Amino acid sequence: MFAGKHFFLSVFLLLCTVMMPITASAAYYNTYTTVATLDNANGANAAEGFAVGSTYVYSVKVNSDETKADIYRTKMSDGTTTLMTNGDTGTTYATYLGHANDVVLSTLDGEFYMFVVTMNAGSMSLVKLKYVGTTYYKVGNYTIQYNGADKSMSGVKITSKDASNIYFLFKSGRTYYRGTLPLTSNSGTINVTDGFYLNIEDAKVNGSTISNITSYAGQGFGYDNDTLYVPFTYQNISIVLVYHNISTATGTIYADDNLSFRVTSSTYPDLFEIESVGIDGTNGYLWFNCNRRTDPSDTAHDAVAYFNGFTAP
């Protein structure tokens, strides 16, 4: 009888161990380092699109009516930031980038390009820029279509390239689409197909779901090593959810419960809005640009930063 009690106690403890969530491996990041602040040249006071290169990160800011967009280049090693020049006009802004909500970089035949989603439907839904140092030139624009109808997109990244094509991942809201563009094409239509849909309601940040997560606004996104890093913002709180195995993803996909990021800012109580994110290939840091406000009239603190302690696998 005594031995039987020990047997049942051992089984009970084993079942409890199996049923309890394992949280020791969970990784949570909630502090960051500001590397540079972005000014408001040409009246452009809202940070939007963002992309990470090997040495520099690139941020776009737009003005209130989206008629001017500034592009800033920030050196990751020391924060040196330069307002880039529009080589077509000699000004320091572009008039055709719309909301410029997300950016992706690409190297083609040794030359450097940016693709920018404008959040407009029609022939200017995606814009291609060539850049040389701190000067850029408009070299292309494209119509994005889904099921034969023009479609606006709020996010863009490149998942791969081959000898003939560039393979894009676009997003609108929480729905992601796949599209292909001939490698050297500077115009035309990108016919996108269904990709997948993000579940956010069940996503855990530091081990817990967020009750009002559907009130969080989605922004751009980052892509690295078959993984999405997706920021969402509510007032002065920004989170980043992580989704894996993107190359084979279909239907509804779910966030990694054991890897999450959050900034809850008392310094900027009116707004802390991460716009987009990206992994740098040298250190593996998760970089982001953000809008930061102490009050509704404060637009002087928009920044480029990275999360402390995180290194991408």
Summarised one tens digit per residue, pLDDT across range 116-153 is: 999 999 999 999 999 999 999 999 999 999 999 999 99
Question: What pLDDT digit, counting tens, does each position of 197-253 carry?
Answer: 999 999 999 999 999 999 999 999 999 999 999 999 999 999 999 999 999 999 999
| pLDDT tops 70 at residue 21 | no
Three-state DSSP class for 118?
coil
- Indicate the pTM of the whole model: 0.91
What is the predicted pLDDT for the residue at 27? 97
Cα pseudo-dihedral 270, 276, 281, 285, rounded to 10: 20
Lowest mean pLDDT: which of 16-25, 50-59, 98-107, 299-308?
Answer: 16-25
Lay out the sheet containing 286-293: strands in order across: 32-37, 303-307, 286-293, 271-279
| pLDDT tops 60 at residue 115 | yes
Closest CA to 119 of 148, 71, 151: 151
Three-state DSSP class for 9?
helix
Three-state DSSP class for 7?
helix
CATH superfamily, with its number, for domain 22-307: Glycosyl hydrolase domain; family 43 (2.115.10.20)
Mean pLDDT of the chain: 93
Per-residue exposure over 110-122, b if at least 16 CB sit within 10 Å of its own CB, e if not: eeebbbbbbbbee
| pLDDT tops 50 at residue 7 | no
CA 48 – CA 59 distance, rounded (Å) = 7
CA 61 – CA 38 distance, rounded (Å) = 9
Question: What pLDDT digit, counting tens, does each position of 23-51 carry?
Answer: 446 999 999 999 999 999 999 999 999 99
What is the predicted pLDDT for the residue at 25? 66
Residue indicated by tokens 């307002």: 83
